[in-house]
Structure formats: structure tokens, C-alpha cells
Amino acid sequence: MTATATVGATALSPQQREAFERDGYLMIRGALDSDEVARYSAALDRVYAEEQDAGRLGPRDPMHKLSAVTSVPETADLLNHPNTFHYVWSMIGWNFHVYHSHVDVHPTVREKRPFRFEWHQDGGRQNREIETDPRPRLSVKLAYFFSDLSEPGRGNTKIVPGSHKWNRIDGPPRRDIEWPDPPGAIEVTGEAGDVLFFDRRIWHARSDNHSEITRRVAFFGFTPRWIRARDEVEDLPNRPWWNDLDPVQQQLLGGFAPTGDHGWGHYPDQTPVYRWLADRDLLDPDYPPLKP
């Protein structure tokens, strides 16, 4: 760390890293202030209303909209927020982008829904096509809470702490067959403005919102640039807001990574997150993803 280091420009402490390696998640309390929470909530509500006006959502439907920044451009500031960004680069270095993101609005569920076993690790086929045990981390995710999720029953994310090293859990033969939560499962609770940071391998599931509070959350999954994005990124440089982004945000949305070697990280000096870390003396010869 240099004398000029700013908020967020400090690596996670050894204790925080150890806790993340052990539990597979960390809570970042109070990452957003109340003005930020209000701004992002309003932005998600606007898009929710637009989806309803377009007939894509019914009156009390949940919204799960992919490509967070494409869907809600205001959320670009959450890509490298000073209170969360260091969690991401401390664990996965500089050569990464957002591969999968979504904004979710979950109103109260009034009627019992058919059972569906939702427990999963992120990464889809990564979990079938990689042969190691445990599988590699490959990606981490931030979940920004814009609603008060401090009590269970509000559609909270369920996780099994420490399960990121398990390649499988017991589950039903079909997803619609009722099955208990895995042993050790908890509902993650947090205030509006808190952020859940998790290893993609942690077993997790969404839950139904039985409270009167509408649940609003934005999720950003970060992975090395040599894994391709699931989000829509092709046309982003032509969007009216693209030039308002800083170079780090542009990298995270697929800029600076045309096809070919650059996108694979062959030119660190031309890669904004690398430059950002190098300028602050935050590269770390002892940690492979951050080796200068």
C-alpha cells in the first residue's frame, strides 16, 4: 500500500482472506450509504415498471434481468465501488471481467409456489466439465442489497457456509420433488447497503419472499477474461453512456478485450485494472493472480 492509497485501495487482510478461503463468503457491511441505496432502488423500480409496461411482467411477478449494466446503466458504479472492489481484485487479481450479472426484484409471494430444488453452484457446465475435486474457484460474486434483508423470510439468499469445496450435495432425483435444505444451510441476512461477497462454488439457492418488503438486489459475477462472458457485451461501446465509464469499468464490461491475445491478458500494461493496481503498488509477488 502506498501513502496515496485511497479508500478501497487496500488488499484484504490475511484474516479476511483466510475467512473467505474457509467459509466461501464474506459480508461487507454498510458498503453503500442511504443515498446510494435510494438511487439504485429507484433505478431497479424504473426498469421493473418498464418491464410491466412492455407486458413482460405481470403485476406481482419477480424480475430477474440479466446483464445488470446493460439493463440498468446506473449500476456501472457498482462494478468498482470503493467499498467492494478490493474484495474482488484481492481474490482474482487484475485480468478479469464481469461474465454474468443480474438485477433482481422480488415482491411478496402471496401464494404457495410449486416446489423447486434451487440449490446450485454458479458456473453451469463448469461444474460438469472440470474433473478436479474440489473444482477451481474461477469466479466470485458480489450481491448488493438495496432492501432491508435483515430478517429471514425476505427472499434472502440461502448458502451453506464452507460448502465451496464440496463437488456435490444430496438432492432430489428431480427438481420438483420436495427435498430438505442441505445440513448447515442459512439464510444470509443484511441491511440495505450491505453486500454479500461469495465464491461461485458455495452451494446457494434463492428463497421466496414472504415478507411485505420488496427485495431488490444486484449481482455481479467476476471471472478471468479467458472465460467468455454470458452477459450481453457485444454492442456496449456504442451505448450513449459508454464514454462516461472509467477505463476500469470499461474493462469489466468487455472493453480492452477485443478477440485475441489482449483479451487473454497478454498485455498487462494496457489493461486498466493492472495499471490501477500497479499505480498504487498493490500487485503482490506472493499471490499468483496479482504477480507483477
Q: Which of 80, 147, 157, 214 binds ligand AKG (CB under 6 A)?
A: 157
Smallest separation, CB 281 to ligand AKG (Å)? 33
Taking the least distance from each CB to ligand AKG, the nearer of 88 and 283 is: 88
3-state secondary structure of 7: coil
Taking the least distance from each CB to ligand AKG, the nearer of 144 and 276 is: 144
Do residues 217 and 156 make contact, with C-beta atoms less than 8 angstroms apart? Answer: no
Residue 43 to residue 76: CA distance in whole angstroms: 12
Q: List the interface residues with ligand AKG, window 58-117 (CB under 6 A).
A: 104
Total number of residues that touch ligand AKG (CB under 6 A): 6
Q: List the interface residues with ligand AKG, window 219-248 (CB under 6 A).
A: 219
Taking the least distance from each CB to ligand AKG, the nearer of 66 and 130 is: 66
Smallest separation, CB 104 to ligand AKG (Å)? 5
Smallest separation, CB 257 to ligand AKG (Å)? 23
Taking the least distance from each CB to ligand AKG, the nearer of 66 and 278 is: 66
Residue 48 to residue 70: CA distance in whole angstroms: 14
Smallest separation, CB 219 to ligand AKG (Å)? 5
Helix H, strand E, coil C: the string for 194-259 is CEEEEECCCCEECCCECCCCCEEEEEEEEEECCCCCCCCCCCHHHCCCHHHCCHHHHHHCCCCCCC
Do residues 66 and 101 make contact, with C-beta atoms less than 8 angstroms apart? Answer: yes
Smallest separation, CB 234 to ligand AKG (Å)? 23
As given in the structure block, the three cell numbers for residue 154 are 425476505
Q: Which of 122, 194, 199, 231 binds ligand AKG (CB under 6 A)?
A: 122
Q: List the interface residues with ligand AKG, window 202-221 (CB under 6 A).
A: 204, 206, 219
Smallest separation, CB 236 to ligand AKG (Å)? 21
Q: What is the DSSP string of 133-192?
A: SSPP---EEEEEE-S-B-STTBSPPEE-TTGGG-S-----SSTTS--PPPTT-EE--B-T
Taking the least distance from each CB to ligand AKG, the nearer of 230 and 239 is: 230
Smallest separation, CB 95 to ligand AKG (Å)? 23
Residue 139 to residue 123: CA distance in whole angstroms: 8
Taking the least distance from each CB to ligand AKG, the nearer of 157 and 271 is: 157
Residue 122 to residue 71: CA distance in whole angstroms: 21
Greatest CA separation found in the chain?
Answer: 57
Do residues 10 and 174 make contact, with C-beta atoms less than 8 angstroms apart? Answer: no
Contact call for residue 194 and ligand AKG (CB under 6 A):
no
Taking the least distance from each CB to ligand AKG, the nearer of 207 and 250 is: 207
Applying CB under 6 A, the residues found at the interface with ligand AKG are 104, 122, 157, 204, 206, 219
